[in-house]
Structures are given as structure tokens and as C-alpha cells.
């Protein structure tokens, strides 16, 4: 059975070079990094090597990197940790309406604990309005959390501008960069980013490992009680093979970013151009220029996104609708509702995300099948 993958924003296959790098850490170099004999020290060395690889990739110091279990945990640790540690200064947080649930639900949970959260609107392409962001800042604002790039529509925010405003006003700036790391060159110093979350499985690393950068000098509280690991900010024996894999995956991604971006963008644009030319009654979600290289999100009006995903699956194609299915009800994408305010567009969105293993033949197969499905089921 054919299987063609267009869901690289959901997760990526682990690069074979990364798998090979990880393998010894399962059963040869298996020591606990907290143990003080040589086997333990060797694991500790491997973790700190990976910490340096990650720090180099985003231009920070290795001491500013904390390992976690995933992007969601990094967002929780950053937002809850920063909010609670800085509560004496204020209780107001600014975020946007199109954040990932790892951010939105963390903010909702903080609201229950007495924090006040402003959820900024976005324009039709998914951009936060910088004037509105500035207007939302109050004397008690302690944290701005705006994602680097959106997971559904791929829109890349003006992170430099947001960082500049936050730094000027002495407000901590966290950015959920789970979709950006590995796809966009990131420089936390240049962009005035105080805190940034990432997840290895989005850049050809393993699942179950994430990292959080927090600029030294920024206070944040641990969210989990236990041992002294990660400078007492994140207790729990480290996932050594995962961390080794994450470090190597990010250094590969950064070394290969230009060539991969060029190829992936070409394939993505080929798909979009072909669909514009050959399929009527469509709507392209998100910005066409400031967008993740591998993201295309197109609403095929008249066909539910979830139905399209099902029909494509029958033809061996993996894609995503962005809509969440809860209790048997298919809810239209809240991100596309926020950008278009149109439930027909939101419920007919199809997200295809392209990666380094896709080919031109894959794109042709995708376009042919979408044309056929649209003809038969619209
Ligand atoms: N933030 C964004 C923008 C994401 O796309 C995702 C995952 O899709 C996450 C956070 C959560 O990452 P993880 O799956 O590693 O918990």
C-alpha cells in the first residue's frame, strides 16, 4: 500500500543519522547522568554536548537551555514558571487567539489562579497587530507569549518587533517556536527573546524530548517537585538518548536549512500553484510570503476538511484538517475562524505540510487525487 506523507508539522520521521547517534545510549552508554562514576559521567557529557548544540543553533548560552519531555511541557514550564515567579510585579499576560493549546490552555489555567490574560485578535493572514499589542500593555503586564510560527496556517509573526517592544517595556517575551525551530534561522539575542520552546520531533529528532531556553536573569519557577536535575528547574532523570538525538537533529537541521528550505518551498509552491490553476472555489489560508516554507493550508469549499483527510487516507496520503474531533463532533479550526471569521472556510481547511523527504512525484500524486476527490464529492 502506498503511503505518502504530507504532515511534517504533526511530526517528522527521525533522520537515520540521528537514530544511529542515539543507539549507543540505550544499552551501552546507559548510565544515569547523576551517577558520579565514569558511566554516569559519560551520559552527563552527552547531555551537555547536546545542550551546546541547541544553544549554538539559537545563539544563546548552554546554561540557558533546560531539557523537558516535549514542546507542551516547555510551554507550560515557561508560561506558568515565569508568571508565578514574577507575580509580585504584576498578574497580566498577553497572548494571541491563534496559539497552540499548549499556550492557550496554560493561560486559561493561570486565569483560574487569578492571572489576567489578554487574547489578541489576528488579521486575515494570522498576524498580530503590533499597535494593538502595544495598546494592550498595562502597568501590571509581566509576560507576552506570542508564537513564532503558527502550526496550522504557517504564518510567521514579526518576532523582532515584538521582542523590541517587550524589551523596551521591561516585559518578558516568551515565544512558542515548536514549528519554527529547524525551519527558520533563530537568533534569540538579536530578536530579544527571553524564553523559547521547542520539540525534537518537529525537526527529524525523536518524540518525547523538548527544550526550553530561558535567558539568564529571567526568573521562573519549577513546575515539578523532585531532584536536582536541570539546575532544579525540571526534576526527573534525563532522557539521554532523546536528548542526544535532539542535539544532533538541531545541528543537522541548522547546517542544512538553506538547501532544505529551497527544496521544500519549491514543492509547496508547486502544490499551491497547481491547485490555483486546476481547482476552482478554494481559499488559501495564511500569509503567502511570511510563512513557514513547508506549510500550505487550503480550504476546498464544499468539502469538510476532516472528510478530505479521510478520502486522501484511502488513497495512501497523510494530511491534516486542523479541525479537532471531540466527543464525535468535528469542530472547525479555531485558528482559521480567528483569521477568516468564516465557518465554511474554517471547516473545509486542509493542511498539507511538506518535508525533506517529499519529491515532485509526491506533489503530482497529491494534486491529481485532490482534483479527483473535489470532482466526485463536492
Ligand atoms: N506548539 C506548537 C506550535 C505545536 O505545533 C505543537 C505541536 O504540534 C506544540 C506546541 C506541542 O508540542 P509537543 O507535541 O512536543 O508537545
Tens of pLDDT, residue by residue over 164-217, are 999 999 999 999 999 999 999 999 999 999 999 999 999 999 999 999 999 999
The atom number, within ligand 1, closest to the CA of 207 reads 15
Are 219 and 174 in contact by the 8 Å Cβ rule? The answer is no
pTM over 0.95, yes/no? yes
Ligand 1 neighbour 243 (Cβ under 6 A): no
Which pLDDT value is given to residue 323?
56
Q: How far apart are the first and last CA of the chain?
A: 26
Phi, psi of 17 (to 5 degrees): -65, -35
**Residue whose C-alpha cell is 518537529:** 202
Span 255-267, pLDDT tens digits: 999 999 999 999 9
Concatenate the DSSP letters of all residues of 265-317 into one string.
HHHHHHHHHHHHHH--SEEE-S-SSSB-TTEEEEEETTS-HHHHHHHHHHTTE
- Judge if the beta carbon of residue 79 lies within 6 A of ligand 1: no
User: Which of 322, 256, 245 is CA-nearest to residue 18?
Assistant: 245
Q: Which residues are catalytic?
A: 325
Place of cell 527571553: 194
- Per CATH, which fold does 16-255 belong to? 3.40.640
Give the model's confidence band at 272: pLDDT under 50 very low, under 70 low, under 90 confident, else very high. very high
pLDDT higher than threshold 60 for residue 251: yes
Please tell me what DSSP assigns to residue 157. P
Which residue among 145, 157, 178 has the greatest number of ligand 1 atoms within 8 angstroms of its CB, and so is best to mutate?
178
Span 32-52, mean pLDDT?
A: 98
Question: What residues form DSSP beta bridges with 5?
Answer: 318
CA 177 to ligand 1 centroid distance, Å: 9
Q: What is the pLDDT of residues 92-124, one digit of tens each?
A: 999 999 999 999 999 999 999 999 999 999 999
- How many residues are given for the chain? 378
Q: What percent of the chain has pLDDT over 90?
A: 96
Establish whether residue 179 lines the binding site of ligand 1, counting it when its CB lies within 6 angstroms of any ligand atom: yes
On the question of a common fold for 4-12+257-377 and 16-255, the answer reads no
Centre of ligand 1 to C-alpha 304, Å, is: 24
**CATH number attached to the domain at 4-12+257-377:** 3.90.1150.10
Domain ranges of the chain: 4-12+257-377, 16-255
Q: Per residue in 133-174, pLDDT tens?
A: 999 999 999 999 999 999 999 999 999 999 999 999 999 999
**Residue entry with cell 554516569:** 40
Amino acid at each position: 500500500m502506498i503511503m505518502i506523507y504530507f504532515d511534517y508539522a504533526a511530526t517528522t520521521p527521525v533522520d537515520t543519522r540521528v537514530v544511529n547517534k542515539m543507539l549507543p545510549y540505550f544499552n551501552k552508554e546507559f548510565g544515569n547522568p547523576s551517577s558520579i562514576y565514569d558511566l554516569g559521567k559519560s551520559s552527563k557529557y552527552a547531555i551537555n554536548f547536546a545542550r551546546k548544540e541547541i544553544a549554538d543553533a539559537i545563539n544563546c548560552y548552554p546554561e540557558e537551555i533546560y531539557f523537558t519531555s516535549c514542546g507542551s511541557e516547555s510551554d507550560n514550564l515557561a508560561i506558568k514558571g515565569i508568571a508565578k515567579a514574577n507575580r509580585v510585579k504584576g498578574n497580566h499576560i498577553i497572548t494571541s487567539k491563534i496559539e497552540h493549546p499548549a499556550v492557550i490552555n496554560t493561560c486559561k489555567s493561570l486565569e483560574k489562579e487569578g492571572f489576567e490574560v489578554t487574547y489578541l485578535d489576528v488579521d486575515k493572514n494570522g498576524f498580530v497587530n503590533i499597535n494593538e499589542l502595544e495598546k494592550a500593555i498595562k502597568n501590571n503586564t509581566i509576560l507576552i507569549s506570542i508564537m513564532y510560527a503558527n502550526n496550522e496556517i504557517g504564518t510567521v509573526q514579526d518576532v523582532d518587533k515584538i521582542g523590541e517592544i517587550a524589551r523596551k517595556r521591561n516585559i518578558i517575551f516568551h515565544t512558542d517556536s515548536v514549528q519554527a525551530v529547524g525551519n527558520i534561522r533563530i537568533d534569540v539575542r538579536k530578536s530579544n527573546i527571553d524564553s523559547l520552546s521547542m520539540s525534537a520531533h518537529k525537526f527529524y529528532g525523536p518524540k518525547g524530548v523538548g527544550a526550553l531556553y530561558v535567558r539568564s536573569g529571567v526568573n521562573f519557577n519549577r513546575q515539578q517537585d523532585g531532584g536536582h536535575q536541570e539546575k532544579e528547574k525540571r526534576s526527573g532523570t534525563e532522557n539521554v538518548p532523546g536528548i542526544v538525538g535532539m542535539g544532533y537533529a538541531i545541528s543537522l537541521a541548522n547546517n542544512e536549512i538553506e538547501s532544505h528550505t529551497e527544496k521544500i518551498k519549491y514543492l509547496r509552491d508547486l502544490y499551491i500553484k497547481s491547485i490555483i490553476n486546476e481547482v476552482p472555489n478554494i481559499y488559501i489560508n495564511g500569509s503567502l510570503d511570511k510563512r513557514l516554507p513547508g506549510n500550505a493550508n487550503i480550504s476546498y469549499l464544499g468539502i469538510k476538511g476532516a472528510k478530505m483527510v479521510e478520502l486522501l487516507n484511502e488513497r495512501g496520503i497523510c494530511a491534516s484538517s486542523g479541525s479537532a474531533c471531540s466527543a464525535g463532533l468535528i469542530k472547525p479550526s479555531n485558528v482559521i475562524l480567528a483569521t477568516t471569521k468564516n465557518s465554511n472556510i474554517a471547516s473545509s481547511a486542509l493542511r498539507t505540510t511538506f518535508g525533506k523527504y517529499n519529491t515532485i512525484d509526491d506533489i503530482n500524486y497529491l494534486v491529481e487525487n485532490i482534483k479527483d476527490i473535489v470532482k466526485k464529492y463536492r
